[in-house]
Chains A and B, each alone.
Chain A
């Protein structure tokens, strides 16, 4: 389409599901109900690590209105998990964190189900527990999984005892690099558990039909993955499981994995009634998939003129009691630690460990904020020590077009310098200390556009409308509207002509899912393929109909044209339906894996990134010099999106991602004490309000990538990566205090200043 002025793509058009959402008519999984459904509740462990000595559900079963009570002894002993099959539906005789499911109840009302859960009698035999990830690594630490070596796992991960996965990334000779260095810096950074914070709780309704198939209506981001996982947990062929996503109230990576769906399915099977299970805030903050806490140590050698020579680092990531995506997240942190900087000698290691805390997962840009907080805080620390401006120090070291990435892959469409310069200019970098107590900070990063395949079915209807059937759910980002814009562009119709079908694993084509900044990118590519095939079908049909050469037939403004012949697209679709079954196509897309050097990675599940993007954030803030309170005045993001499919919703992704990043930086933390979550409610789990958010100024850089639709790159995850480092750097300027642990609360800043004044 080069040189062609887009009519639909690239435009600020309204999303397709907006009216339903503003009128309350859009049905979310949490709103979904079936006649005669029961309500499920879960009994959860009150101990962080214990053997279940006695479990008696008789009193619960006897309560009027209780239809089913299930424990581990009522269902097959099946272990499941993303990388390691280490988890079971109910605790398998041992509980490994406070909040772990032990039993489930289905009753005619939520209140009866809650009463039944309280009526279950349980006795524990406490086991030694480990909560600290560094302690978990020591010899003699209690083993979270005594039987770890018997678990099935993806072969890529190097496991042992409490270590659920180890990976390495690097090249060159770091010791030689350090030997050449003018100065060497070593720092340690820590990051906390943060919850994705979707406003719609996780919810599922399961119902079994006459064929012995189970239908699960739920708010998963990955319907096909959910289908397979449920089939595994239910011990069924995958064809017997059907997952439907009515609507989903945000996910941010927190709704990727089975959460309540398996409870609903088992309870429905046992009670022979539909069962709904929905999480409470307390359950969300004790047993969900929050971002893992990490400890990142980073040792860096530089030359006298401020060039990075060698970097050595370790990411220690706390998975909690079950590994889930932890080992992979820890490994991906290594790429974040490396980039976007040229470093001749690199040696990075990731270690994911088990502890007796809640499970964790893949919150938006998994690994991103943690590793970026470390590397970008350290870049400022080094620049300050060398007496080089932090922006200048970054510019001397950033990737250039054609450089090799950390795994030896060739980097193209590199835009980091442009992002840094634009963000710096917009924030007014020349004046980094505009007033006493005020300062500016900058941070940059890179990120991938996740691969995985997408299929779409596209149908042109006899009324000229177009139906898009995708297996990817609309999380809220607007990605499906973006894909529909691409489809409308390719078919010469308006966005309003496109209808999007509900995602149903029985009838939707496969999609790798709404995750990894890939939805608009990958579904968009599949739409281009589907449209191409439809144009071929239209060409063949009308060439025969009009007796004209195929290549004379073209699609323009909802009409099919050849010479002076013209027929509306609706009539062509109608003709096709009458004569040949209709205009329908299957488009597919998958990103090619880049070529990389295998000697640079070890035990790494994602050695090289596909369709990387670059971004820089800059912030201007004040710190109250006594109370430590931080007030953000301006926040600027320059992000390379390749091609802005719909600038409005891209800005929305950036503004929302920054909000989550600001939450992680300043206020949010799931606080554990001896395995107990001390703030399992939204009073004390503190997500930013309107008053905590500054305006976010978005600069969309468009340096086209080679794989995305019209050059687009993944957009959704990156905006939450840099806020911790950018804000930490600005706070250091404004207050003189460098905080290396997240969250950077006012308390930490104020007490650090107090301690310093006392010294």
Chain B
């Protein structure tokens, strides 16, 4: 099948690509663009390591055709914060010991970001955070420090609301 032109907006930048229609967004990010911060594992929306934001909402890029992202805004972990300007979620994950092998962490942070953006103005309960993150598997941490980090980040984002909008 021949390649078709596809323009994507990723982390605020536009990309002019030639893609085959069946390519997933994950495949385009990792294989075509070398943006390997978005991870690859089950390819069936069961593990969540491939999570990116599509118009601000967390989605599994492994089962989303790149075509389905046409004309929409994509944010990957590379667009959230960089080592000099960490997003409060990234900072909290480090400070709370929520990172072990780290392979699930980009997806976990973006899942959390989409959730916290929806509950702007209130700090979610532990139960709410657990519910929100249930689509992203972590095999290292048992989730406890991840949940603590998300709640801590929520507190901070609420006290600096202008920070919350960055990269979204």
**Chain A residues packing against B (C-beta within 8 Å):** 12, 14-15, 17-28, 30-31, 33, 196-201, 248-250, 252, 280-281, 475-478, 648-649, 651-652, 654-660, 681-683, 687, 689-691, 693, 695-696
Contact = CB atoms under 8 A, between A and B. Distances in A.
A25 B100 CA distance: 15
A689 B137 contact: yes
B104 A18 contact: no
Contacts of A19: 83, 86, 90, 94
Contact of A199 (B39, B81, B95, B109): B39
A476 B100 contact: yes
Please provide the 4 A-B residue pairs with the shortest distance between their CB atoms, ordered closest to farther.
Answer: A24-B37, A476-B101, A249-B103, A21-B102
Contacts of B17: none
Q: Which of B44, B140, B143 has the most CB of A within 10 A?
A: B140
A286 B64 CA distance: 26
Contacts of A649: 97, 100
Given A22-B102, A249-B102, A660-B139, A691 B41 contact: no
Interface string B58-95: 00000000000000000011101111001000100111
Nearest to B30: A31
B6 interface: no
Given A22-B94, A23-B90, 16 more contacts: A14-B94, A14-B97, A20-B102, A24-B106, A28-B36, A201-B41, A252-B139, A475-B101, A476-B103, A477-B140, A478-B97, A649-B97, A652-B141, A655-B143, A683-B46, A687-B139
Interface stretch (B116-124, B127-135, B159-167): B127-135
Contacts of B142: 652, 654-659, 693, 696
Contacts of B81: 23
Given A19-B83, A25-B37, A199 B144 contact: no
A693 B144 CA distance: 8
Nearest to B101: A476
B100 A478 contact: yes
B18 interface: no
A658 B139 CA distance: 10
A33 B102 CA distance: 19
A682 B83 contact: no
Contacts of B86: 19, 22-23
B140 A22 contact: no
- Interface residue SS majority, chain B: loop
B93 A22 contact: yes
A269 to B, nearest CB: 24
Nearest to A13: B97
Q: Which of A23, A31, A33 has the most CB of B within 10 A?
A: A23
A12 B139 CA distance: 22
A281 B106 CA distance: 20
A687 B44 contact: no
Nearest to B110: A24
A695 B44 CA distance: 28
Contacts of A656: 100, 138-142
Nearest to B82: A23
Contacts of A17: 102
B21 to A, nearest CB: 13
Given A651-B97, A656-B141, A476 B102 contact: yes
B134 A691 contact: yes
B38 interface: yes
A649 B140 CA distance: 11
Contacts of A33: 34
* Interface range for B: 35 or more
Interface of B: 30, 34-44, 46-47, 49, 76-78, 80-83, 86, 90, 93-95, 97, 99-106, 109, 129-131, 133-147
24 contacts: A12-B97, A21-B99, A22-B94, A23-B78, A23-B80, A23-B82, A199-B47, A199-B49, A199-B101, A249-B101, A250-B101, A280-B43, A477-B100, A651-B97, A652-B142, A655-B141, A656-B140, A659-B139, A681-B46, A683-B44, A687-B139, A690-B131, A690-B133, A696-B144
B41 A199 contact: yes
B138 A199 contact: yes
Nearest to A698: B144
A475 B103 CA distance: 11
Contacts of B43: 280-281
A250 B139 CA distance: 8
A12 B101 CA distance: 18
Contacts of A475: 101
A24 B147 contact: no
Contact of A691 (B94, B131, B140): B131
Nearest to B131: A691
B45 to A, nearest CB: 9
Contacts of A200: 39, 41, 101, 103
Contacts of A20: 83, 102
Given A31-B30, A31-B36, A200-B39, A24 B143 contact: no
A485 B81 CA distance: 27
B145 A199 contact: no
Contacts of B36: 24, 27-28, 31
Nearest to B144: A655
B101 A682 contact: no
A52 to B, nearest CB: 29
Q: Which of A30, A281, A475, A689 has the most CB of B within 10 A?
A: A689
B140 A250 contact: yes
A598 B108 CA distance: 51
A26 B99 CA distance: 12
Nearest to A21: B102
A281 B42 CA distance: 6
Q: Which of B30, B38, B42 has the most CB of A within 10 A?
A: B42
Contacts of B139: 196-199, 250, 252, 656, 659-660, 687
